Amino acid sequence: MASTKFRAVFTIAEKINCPLYEKGEQMELTDRTFSCPEGKEVCLILVRDMTQLLFELLKQPEKNAQAKAKNYSCSGCTGLIKFNLIDGEHDKAGTESKTARIEARIRSVMQEVHGQTVESPFLNSIPAEKIELVIRKFQEVQVPRDKVLVHQGEPNPNVYLALTGSFAVENNHQKIATLGAGELFGEMSYLGAGPAVASIKALEDATVLAIRADDFSKLLSSSTSVQVFMARLLADRLQQINMMRVRDFENAMSGRVADVLPAELFQVFHMHQKTGVLELDLASGKARVAFREGGIVNAKYRGEQGEKAIFAILAEKEGYYRFTSGISAAEMSAEEIGDFMGLLMEGVRRVDEDDPANAGDFSDD
């Protein structure tokens, strides 16, 4: 790969309600990439501003000395920053165009990917006549290790293509896949969907190409091959998440009772015909409920067993729970404790009545 022709270092001189960066932090701009302050969020507004600034500096290399005395500022969002050039070098031999440079990087990635007998469907799905148009819209961004580019549960406005490094796909802090060079992520934003269903974190220092999802969609909306690719990618990613959730149900799941009340937990295990033990750490002590194919075969809480224990558990609203697969041989052959829906409805009725006398007396009616 050709050496860097231009390099400039900027320092932030003033921060005006900027949600990301601080005064005194530095940024580096070269003819190949732009690096935000180390360890900070990537701001695509700033990336676009710096790309425009790069073109200006490349067009007038003889004015670099004047550029050092000039104050610059970003376009701004909820706030903005002002910054100054503190160091800059320009190679008068010239530079590669942005399109040619990124295209060379993509070709390099494709060669590496294909050389490892790993296909890159996204790159292959872009029609040849559109590749240059797509490349011009991408912004190259350096991503430090452990940086989270996509946050689960939050809107993500960008689509990313990994050029170098590797990324972990995480759902509820559990890694479900690893992405490498040539792979696409942030695909849910392509549909204009809501919050991201998974987080994407850099496992090492990496480089990505970033493009706003609306730009990506407009550029490729007329391409059947890309639409087919995106549909398959979305289906595959959702299937990975669903498979992980199934494994959670079959192996172990845990959480706070305040988030999922006992009545809801009972219904989930009953509907999915689960066999295993639900252990709860509640205000009045520990509770245990054994399920066989969705039916309750054993329950203990506050010195009570069976129905009394179930009704007492259903009245709780705080604590922690954990479900694990498998029950004892005795419980596998035990009779169910009454009709499941009958027990649940009776327990919920007692909770709704909120009768103090009833709360301490779980005797049969």
Sequence-distant (6+) residues with CB within 8 A of 110 are 120, 123, 182
pLDDT tens digits along 342-361: 888 888 888 777 555 444 44
Rg (CA), the chain: 29
More confident residue, 365 or 149: 149
CA gap 288, 255 in Å, rounded:
15
Per-residue pLDDT for 113 more than 50? no
Residue 95: the pLDDT is 37
Q: Which residues pair with 141 in a beta bridge?
A: 34, 208
pLDDT tens digits along 263-291: 888 988 888 888 999 999 998 899 999 99
State the number of CA atoms in the 13 A half-sphere of 359 facing the CB.
9
pTM over 0.85: no
The sheet carrying 167-171 orders its strands as 148-150, 199-202, 167-171, 174-179
Residue 120: the pLDDT is 59
Per-residue pLDDT for 96 more than 70? no
**pLDDT tier, 314 (very low <50, low <70, confident <90, very high otherwise):** very high
Has domain 98-250 been given CATH number 2.60.120.10?
yes
Residue 92: the pLDDT is 37
**Cβ proximity of 203 and 165 under 8 Å:** yes
Tell me 97's DSSP state.
-
Task: Locate the domains of the chain by residue range.
Answer: 1-96, 98-250, 257-360
